[in-house]
Amino acid sequence: MAVTEVQLSVLAQLRERLPEAPRLLSLGYPDILADVSRIEDLFGPEVSSQLRFRDDGAEIIAWHGLTGELERIPESTAFFDSLGISCTVIDIAASRGGERIVDLNGDLPDDLAGAFDIVLDPGTIEHCFNIGGAMMNIASSLGAGGFVCHFAPLSMFNHGFFNLNPTFFHDFFTQNGFEIVLLKGVAGPLLAPRFFDIPPTGRFQEPPGDASILVVARRPEIGPLNWPVQTKYLDNPDLKA
Domain that holds residue 49: 2-234
Domain count along the chain: 1
The predicted pLDDT at position 96 comes to 87
Report if residue 110 sits inside a domain: yes
Report if residue 46 sits inside a domain: yes
The predicted pLDDT at position 240 comes to 77
pLDDT tens, position by position, 88-137:
999 999 888 889 999 999 999 999 999 999 999 999 999 999 999 999 99
Which residue, among 154, 22, 19, 174, has the nearest Cα to 88 in the 3D structure? 22
Neighbours of 206 (CB within 10 A): 6
Beta bridge partners of 26: 89, 120
One-letter-per-residue 3-state SS of 153-200 = ECCCCCCCCCCCCHHHHHHHHHCCCCEEEEEEEEECCCCCCEEECCCC
Q: Report the relative pairing of strands 142-153 and 212-219 from DSSP bridges.
A: antiparallel
**Alpha carbon distance 96, 117 (integer Å):** 23
Report if residue 241 sits inside a domain: no
Report if residue 143 sits inside a domain: yes
**pLDDT exceeds cutoff 90 at 182:** yes
Instruction: Taking residues 79-90, report their average pLDDT.
Output: 96
Report if residue 239 sits inside a domain: no
Q: Tell me how far the alpha carbon of residue 2 is from its chain's centroid.
A: 9
pLDDT tens, position by position, 45-56:
999 999 999 999
In angstroms, the first-to-last Cα distance of the chain is 43
**Percent of residues, the chain, with pLDDT higher than 90:** 93
Which domain CATH number covers 178?
3.40.50.150
Instruction: Taking residues 165-194, report their average pLDDT.
Output: 97
The answer to whether the beta carbons of residues 181 and 118 sit under 8 Å apart is no
Question: Alpha-carbon Rg of the chain, whole angstroms?
Answer: 18
The predicted pLDDT at position 176 comes to 99
Strand runs labelled E in 39-169: 86-91, 100-101, 116-121, 142-153
The predicted pLDDT at position 236 comes to 85
pLDDT tens, position by position, 123-178:
999 999 999 999 999 999 999 999 999 999 999 999 999 999 999 999 999 999 99
The answer to whether the beta carbons of residues 198 and 163 sit under 8 Å apart is no
Given phi > 0 = left and psi -120 to 50 = alpha, else beta, which region is 35? beta
The answer to whether the beta carbons of residues 220 and 144 sit under 8 Å apart is yes
pLDDT tens, position by position, 209-218:
999 999 999 9
Report if residue 101 sits inside a domain: yes
Report if residue 229 sits inside a domain: yes
Task: Specify the pTM.
Answer: 0.94
Comparing 55 with 240, the larger pLDDT belongs to: 55
**Alpha carbon distance 76, 82 (integer Å):** 10
